[in-house]
Structure 1
Amino acid sequence: MAQSAHAYWCCYGLDNLAGLDFQYRMNRIQMQLVEQSAKARTKTPAPLPTVERASTTAAREMAQAYPAAQREQAARTFETLLAKYREIEDRFGIRRGDIGGALAAFIAGNLMAMRQQPFPDAHFAALVRQMREAVASDPAYRRLDPMELRRSYEQLAIVGMFMAATQMALAQQPDDGL
């Protein structure tokens, strides 16, 4: 990650998101979306239930991928990103713990980073619905323990917000080194 992005986050070393492996989940969802594209949906499935945890632990778990000296700062950054995601939930009327919403934030944030442009608010609600449908139709998600589902929800929301915020920071202060 570029120096200007580091300055925005006020910490160094947060470019090591390689410890997070979402590729498998993303590939499964992409394949299901392709398979379902021919089917017309008339009913939006209910969000999968997750368990509220007394304290958010995904941020601390994710921070373990960083050098020991940077873990506390990384955990605080991730906790801040999760809190900012809750503002997105409020803004778009997404129920807390809705894995479809978190997955939509993950996809939107990564699209923002890939395209180096904002994700249109007008498209976000539709993306949330698509992700709810994809998750609801995948039996593997139904078999997940509610605590694991909550952990996935938090990780997806954090990474999505991280990517979106980094793209916005770089849009304000471009880095020619990228």
Structure 2
Amino acid sequence: MSRPFQAPASDAERRHAALVQEVSRRVREALDGAHAVDADHAALTVERAPRPAAPERLARAHPGGAGARQQARGLYERCLVHYREVLRASQADGAVDDVGAALAAFVAANLRAVQGVDLGPPAMQALERQLAGVLRGSPGWVATAARERQMYFEQLAILAVLVSESFTQAVLMGPAALANVQRAARGYLQQLLGLQPHQLVVGEHGLALAG
């Protein structure tokens, strides 16, 4: 399981990379207690784009030729559909997407792959509120255009499903496959949030530093 990322090649991708860095910094500061998080119960939503852009962007970083990239794009599109229609079935026909929920699903999927821990509904709800509060209070998020916010959501939703499904399959395939998924999960957490999974726990108030 490779990590589909590449250096930003356009202004839009550079702005997206800047948003990822800003959110990463804010999450680390929140865990360190550098600033308070307004864990508002209101969902943090973005308007759903008529046509998703993240599958194409992620596929461009996939190794191999045009055929491999086309297959990867199809996989990422299916992951996004699965997230919306299965994991968030109650909102499948809605006009907006919940970014806090997608960020929480991304964190939970990667922690499950590395730590083998499934989060129950109370922990997931606390994680959603906490991470939505981090985003809501981020100057970078406030300044980000709607399309780039949607791109951020799409990427999180795709990777949440990709990691979760890959982990489920790897458990059946054996240690080598499992190690590959775990390596990718650590990389995702490091790249998108600047966090190492062994440093993290999830409790009644959301994400926290272990110890």
Kindly provide the amino acid, as one letter, of the partner of residue 16 in structure 1. R
TM alignment of 1:11-30, pairs within 5 A: 15-19=2-6, 24=21, 25-30=23-28
> What is residue 166 of structure 2 aligned with on the other side?
166
Q: What TM-score does the superposition give when structure 1 sets the normalisation length?
A: 0.76
SS at structure 2 position matched to 1:166: helix
RMSD between aligned alpha carbons? Answer: 2.8
TM alignment of 1:146-157, pairs within 5 A: 146-157=146-157
CA offset digits 1:94-151 (Å, max 9, x no partner): x741111111111111112222x24223221221111111111112111110110000
Equivalents in 2 of 1:18, 1:56: separation in Å? 17
CA offset digits 1:53-93 (Å, max 9, x no partner): 22112111110112322111101110111111112123699
Kindly provide the amino acid, as one letter, of the partner of residue 97 in structure 1. D
Equivalents in 2 of 1:57, 1:104: separation in Å? 21
Equivalents in 2 of 1:40, 1:163: separation in Å? 27
Kindly provide the amino acid, as one letter, of the partner of residue 17 in structure 1. P
> What is residue 11 of structure 1 aligned with on the other side?
none
Report how far residue 173 of structure 1 moved.
Answer: 2.5
Equivalents in 2 of 1:149, 1:40: separation in Å? 20
**Is the contact made by 1:112 and 1:163 (CA closer than 8 Å) also made in structure 2?**
no
Q: More strand per residue: 1 or 2?
A: 2
Gaps of 5+ in 2: 8-16, 180-211
| Runs of 4+ residues over 6 Å off in structure 1 | 20-23
Kindly provide the amino acid, as one letter, of the partner of residue 55 in structure 2. A
> What is residue 29 of structure 2 aligned with on the other side?
31
> What is residue 58 of structure 2 aligned with on the other side?
62
TM alignment of 1:128-147, pairs within 5 A: 128-147=128-147
Q: 1:174 to 1:139 in 2, by over 3 A?
A: same
**Is the contact made by 1:82 and 1:154 (CA closer than 8 Å) also made in structure 2?**
yes
Gaps of 5+ in 1: 2-14
TM alignment of 1:58-137, pairs within 5 A: 58-66=54-62, 67=64, 68-86=66-84, 87-90=86-89, 96-115=96-115, 117-122=116-121, 123-137=123-137
**Which stretch shows the higher mean deviation, 167-176 or 21-30?**
21-30
Aligned length: 161
Report how far residue 27 of structure 1 moved.
Answer: 3.6
**Is the contact made by 2:39 and 2:129 (CA closer than 8 Å) also made in structure 1?**
no
Report how far residue 23 of structure 1 moved.
Answer: 6.4
Pairing 1:51–2:22 present: no
Q: 1:174 to 1:23 in 2, by over 3 A?
A: farther
**Is the contact made by 1:118 and 1:168 (CA closer than 8 Å) also made in structure 2?**
no
**Is the contact made by 2:39 and 2:130 (CA closer than 8 Å) also made in structure 1?**
no
Q: Percent identity?
A: 23
Q: What TM-score does the superposition give when structure 2 sets the normalisation length?
A: 0.65
